[in-house]
Structure 1
Amino acid sequence: MSDTIQRFTFANLPIRGEIISLDHSFKTIANQHQYASAQRQLLGQSLAATALMADIIKIEGKVALQLQSTSAVKLLLTECTHQGYIRGLARLDDTKTSDVLNFQEWTQGGQMAITIEPNQGKRYQGVVPLENAELASCLEDYFIRSEQLPTYIQLFASDDKVFGLFLQALPGNSQDTTTAEEKAEAFDHVKTLAQTLTAEEALELNHQDLLYRLFHQDDVTTYPEKPIEFQCGCSRERNEKALATINPEELVEMVQDSGGQIELVCDFCSNKEVFTEQDIMTFLSNVSPSDSIN
């Protein structure tokens, strides 16, 4: 299975869709941490959902999905850029998880934040409570509230594969003669077909076979697949920028107290950058006053 996302539309129905499959990228991300099987599945669902949103929203920038709760999920964060680069991490209380994913129990008392961060323009964040039994239904509620458009999402994950399907009614325009009742019937029709999909089919079939299996009675147009891959984005330069936010005197004291070097480890990919005391002194000599907090 390749790591791709693909858009599709219906010739005679006012509905758009996206379909995604993750294999190598998901395993790369999940294998960087010692997640149990059910935890991997939750992370995989979140990765697929975030990539779907990034492709649907169509901005040049980044979309992030964050879950936090007072229960098992202390933090789950997944991100996807418009180029299709994904990364993610999960911090869970192992004493409150089990061998079977129980989303509602794991996220009890929690909230979901969706952050849209364009390269140019204003950052936007929407926050909603986690009140449903599955991540997919929480996301459906978010889109219905934010865009007022009927939305249906399916997410399936095993230990090493992930699948996602997104269906949404198209917004109307001045030339649209379709009645509200006709639009509702069309969406119910497509949703009913999508609900027949099994986890086994979702994780094993390729996109073309799966779309034919679901919607062969409708006229579906598919568009070129877009690759999805893991890319963290962490770098020594970014770590230097983080260090620049620390008071220089405190930074020098930190490196001395740490035995002559500071180690910064990326939470996403576990990449480690080491800054020696000499590195810090050289770094500080090149930092302008405006780069640090005094």
Structure 2
Amino acid sequence: MTNSDLLHRFLFDECDMRGEIVSLEQSYQNVLEHNIYPEMVQRLLGEFLTAASLLSSTLKFDGIITLQAKGVGPVSLIMAECTHHNALRGIVRLSETVAFPEDAADLPELIGQGILTITVEPAKGERYQGVVPLDANTLAECLEHYFYQSEQLKTRIWLQADAKKTGGILLQALPTQIVENEEVNEEQWHTATTLADTVKREELLDVEHNELLYRLFHEFKVRVFSPSAIRFECSCSRKRSVAALKSLGRDDVEQLLIEQGTIAIDCQFCNQVYRFDASDVRGMFGQDTLH
């Protein structure tokens, strides 16, 4: 797949619509290699990673967008985040008490009753968070509901994933600028989304982006922009682990050190382990520590 780990933005030059198309392979595998999940869970995580990649291009500033779902099903938590600079990561937490269904499961069967949270966190400024119920059969439908309710933007999303790669398309209506006739505008939106509804699973996973966009929208004038590369990248570091320990306070850290001998902080995203001994703790809190 020549468009592996690339995101293309595109515009309908004669309509008030925009779109994005993304394919993930290596970045998706980089996420999976750090944690082993059942195949049905891998596919769901692939959809979350794809959706986070699509939504990250809507960020107009340096920041992070995070999709997180919590529920009472076999998957108790699933999360994917992507930065404005296209660094992607994700994680799943499985329930210790709820068994997996034997057959292929959809979103409600895997997560159960719960909520989907969309968080936008700028590098500078206040964090914004939107919440929608997990009351649809797919992640795409939940996200479409979110945009309709909170952003008042007509948005459609198509997501596919298997054990090796993922693909997704996002279409979004823009404020009226090109076509002033509301009826014509609505007809163009209906036509574009109806055409996108014909996309096949194998097309989203295997067909090169420009070819697929031509297949779907050849009756429109579509302008495709230069791609952005998507990559797996974890934001953990020893420095951030030190900050986390300092936030606990000297007494709690010393108690952990007494109980464990060495403090280990595991990153749940990449399985990196940061270890701290007595000398490290003295460096954090001063030489009068642990006397």
Could you say whether these structures have the same fold, taking a TM-score greater than 0.5 normalized by the shorter chain as the test?
yes
Shift of 1:73: 2.3
What letter matches 2:197 in structure 1? Q
Give me the TM-score of the superposition, normalised by structure 2.
0.94
> Which position in structure 1 is the counterpart of 2:184?
182
Q: 2:71 aligns with which of 48, 69, 76?
A: 69
Matches within 5 A, 1:230-249: 230-249=232-251
Paired residues of 1:38 and 1:98 also in contact (CA < 8 A)? no
What letter matches 1:153 in structure 2? I
User: Could you report, residue by residue, the CA deviation over 1:49-77 in whole angstroms, capped at 9, with x for unpaired residues?
Assistant: 01111102332110000000112221111
> Which position in structure 1 is the counterpart of 2:174?
170
Matches within 5 A, 1:72-91: 72-91=74-93
Kindly indicate whether residue 215 of structure 2 is the aligned counterpart of residue 213 of structure 1: yes
Q: SS at the partner of 2:116?
A: strand
Shift of 1:233: 0.9
Shift of 1:253: 1.4
Q: SS at the partner of 1:281?
A: helix
Q: 2:154 aligns with which of 146, 150, 155?
A: 150
Distance 2:157 2:19 in 1: 10
Kindly indicate whether residue 269 of structure 2 is the aligned counterpart of residue 256 of structure 1: no
Distance 2:229 2:265 in 1: 30
Shift of 1:99: 4.8
Distance 1:231 1:57 in 2: 18
Matches within 5 A, 1:59-138: 59-93=61-95, 95-138=99-142
Distance 2:269 2:144 in 1: 27
Q: SS at the partner of 2:99?
A: helix
Tell me how large the CA RMSD over aligned residues is: 1.5
Shift of 1:98: 4.0
> Which position in structure 2 is the counterpart of 1:141?
145
Distance 2:227 2:196 in 1: 20
Shift of 1:177: 5.1
Change (3 A) 1:28 1:124: same
Paired residues of 1:76 and 1:89 also in contact (CA < 8 A)? yes
> Which position in structure 2 is the counterpart of 1:44?
46
User: Could you report, residue by residue, the CA deviation over 1:249-294 in whole angstroms, capped at 9, with x for unpaired residues?
Assistant: 2211111110x201110011110111112211222118xxxxxxxx
Q: What is the number of equivalent residue pairs in this alignment?
A: 284
Q: 2:229 aligns with which of 207, 227, 230?
A: 227
Change (3 A) 1:99 1:27: farther
Paired residues of 2:16 and 2:179 also in contact (CA < 8 A)? no
Paired residues of 1:37 and 1:99 also in contact (CA < 8 A)? no
Shift of 1:79: 0.7
What letter matches 2:250 in structure 1? P
Give me the TM-score of the superposition, normalised by structure 1.
0.93
> What is the identity percentage for the equivalent residue pairs of Structure 1 and Structure 2?
37
> Which position in structure 1 is the counterpart of 2:283?
282
Shift of 1:161: 0.3
User: Could you report, residue by residue, the CA deviation over 1:180-217 in whole angstroms, capped at 9, with x for unpaired residues?
Assistant: 22221111100011011100111110101111111112
Distance 2:26 2:85 in 1: 17
Paired residues of 1:67 and 1:73 also in contact (CA < 8 A)? no
